Chain A
Amino acid sequence: MRRVYLDNAATTPLLPEVREAMMPFLGEVFGNPSSLHSWGDPAREAVETARVQVAGLIGAQVEEIIFTGSGTESNNFAIKGLAMANQKKGNHIIISAVEHFSVLHSARTLEKLGFQVSEVPVDKYGTVDPDDVRRRIRKDTILVSVMHANGEIGTIEPIKEIAKITKEMNIPLHTDAVATAGTIPVNVKELGVDALSLAGNQFYGPKGVGALWVRRGVRIMPLLDGGIQEGGKRAGTENVPAIVGLGKAAELATANMDARIKLLTALRDRLITQLPAKIDHVVITGHPQKRLPGHASFCIEFIEGESMLMWLNMQGVAVSSGSACTSRALKASHVLIASGLSHELAQGSLLFTFGIDSTVEDVDYILEVLPPIVTRLRQMSPLYAKFEKAGKGVR
């Protein structure tokens, strides 16, 4: 059976070159980077090389990169660390309604500790209006965090415009760039942000490693106290193989970004234009143009995501969904609901995320296997039966 992996937003595969770069550090080069002897030296040098590579990916100063254990840790660190460090100036933070749970739930934790959180709404494409951020800024606002792009609907947010506002008001701006760093050009100076999160498994690096970039001069409180690893900002013995892999992946992403974007954009656009031609009553979620290159997301009316996922999996296809039934919490994606979709429609969410191994044949395979699945599920859907009788949609 054909196997088609279109869930690169969950994780990309590890590139063979990245694995090769990591191998020595899972073997003979086992020293602790903090050790001052010839076992520690090569490990330390490897970590510092990776720091240069990651800094290069986002146009940052090398010493501003802090390695972490994941994108989630980077976001927790940014939200909690920046808020805690600026507590004396105020206790109000602003985030968008479509942030990843690692930002959203960090903000919720801060609320329990006495901080106040304002959520900026989004339009039907999931886009934040910078003026909505401006309107929420108060005298005691100490942090704004808006993601660079949304992993569920692919929408790229106007970070530069938001940064102009926060800079004017002298408030630190963090962006969760987990979906963009290593995928599209990300330059911290051009974006004008003060802190930025990224993760290795989003651009063919290993899982369990990420980085937080914090502009020099911006104060942040560590989450992990201990030794003086990562400039004292993130204690704990470094995950050297993973950091080396992250660095290598960053180097390869920098070198191959244009070619990757070209490939991914072509595949995305083929699916986005052809799927609605094959299946009636399909809504594209996220922004039609300002979206991640390999990201095609839809809601298929009258049917539910998990059922589609199960059928697609039986046909060898891996995708994901924001439906309530597919989430462990049994709640529809907050991103889809914040974008104004009804619960019925959000239930039909399907997300295809292409990777550098994806092909045109993969797209055509989807176009072949998905329509009969949709027909089959609609034939047993009470919502579809009602629609056919009434002659109108459920939206």
Chain B
Amino acid sequence: MPVYSQKVMDHFMNPRNVGEIENPDGIGEEGNPVCGDMMTFYIKVKDNRLEDVKFQTFGCGAAIAVSSMVSEMAKGRTLEEALKITPQSVANELEGLPKNKFHCSNLGAQALHKAIEDYLEKQKKGVQA
């Protein structure tokens, strides 16, 4: 097995916030199956805070653990705070990721950011309309 930290194994075996939000305020997708990992994040926003975060992930142990960790780090945060989550901060919270997994599987932060951008985009359009 790859050398994963205990934290990664914990999030892999018991991923937090798995699933889909009905009528989400934002959706973000990242990755493609050629490199092996795909993540979809769903967010619900209330008063500029991430009231709920859920994800779906296709990928290796690291990809699942990353998604779970990102969801945990983001939930309850303001949008500005959530946008500060980076692949490096996720890896730090997971007590490290194997080198070759860092780029390929560490897509959770990007997927979350895309969901937030999706929400902001919709807000803009909503205001215009």
Contact = CB atoms under 8 A, between A and B. Distances in A.
Interface of A: 302-304, 306-307, 309-310, 313-314, 323-326, 328, 330, 332, 342-344, 347, 379-385
B9 to A, nearest CB: 8
B106 interface: no
A381 B56 contact: yes
Given A307-B59, A325-B63, A382-B40, 9 more contacts: A304-B58, A306-B60, A325-B36, A343-B33, A347-B36, A380-B57, A381-B56, A382-B57, A385-B56
23 contacts: A304-B37, A304-B59, A304-B60, A304-B63, A307-B59, A307-B61, A307-B64, A309-B1, A310-B12, A324-B34, A324-B36, A325-B36, A326-B60, A328-B100, A330-B104, A332-B34, A344-B33, A380-B19, A381-B56, A381-B57, A382-B29, A382-B40, A383-B38
Contacts of A347: 33, 36, 58
A139 B34 CA distance: 39
Contact of A325 (B13, B15, B29, B105): B105
Contact of A382 (B1, B15, B36, B38): B38
A306 B12 CA distance: 11
Nearest to A330: B104
B73 interface: no
Nearest to A304: B59
A193 to B, nearest CB: 36
Contact of B18 (A313, A328, A380): A380
Given A323-B36, A325-B37, A380-B18, A306 B61 contact: yes
A114 to B, nearest CB: 32
Contact of B58 (A302, A310, A328): A302
A379 B18 contact: yes
Contacts, number: 75
Residues of B contacting A: mostly: mixed
Interface residues of B, number: 30
Chain A CB within 10 A, most for which of B40, B55, B58: B58
A314 B62 CA distance: 16
A325 B58 contact: no
B56 A380 contact: yes
Contacts of B105: 325
Contact of A310 (B36, B38, B57, B61): B61
Contacts of B104: 325, 330
Contacts of A310: 1, 12, 61
Interface of B: 1-2, 12-13, 15, 18-20, 29, 33-40, 55-64, 100, 104-105
Nearest to B9: A310
Given A303-B58, A307-B61, A347-B58, A382 B2 contact: no
A310 B58 CA distance: 14
A339 B116 CA distance: 40
Given A306-B2, A310-B12, A324 B57 contact: no
A332 B35 CA distance: 8
A290 to B, nearest CB: 29
A347 B37 CA distance: 9
Contacts of A324: 34-36
B69 to A, nearest CB: 14
B52 to A, nearest CB: 16
A97 B13 CA distance: 37
Given A347-B33, A380-B15, A325 B1 contact: no
Nearest to A380: B18
List the 9 closest pairs (A to B, CB-CB), nearest first.
A325-B60, A324-B36, A306-B60, A382-B56, A344-B33, A382-B40, A325-B36, A343-B34, A380-B18
A182 to B, nearest CB: 29
A309 to B, nearest CB: 7
Chain B CB within 10 A, most for which of A309, A330, A343, A385: A330
Nearest to A325: B60
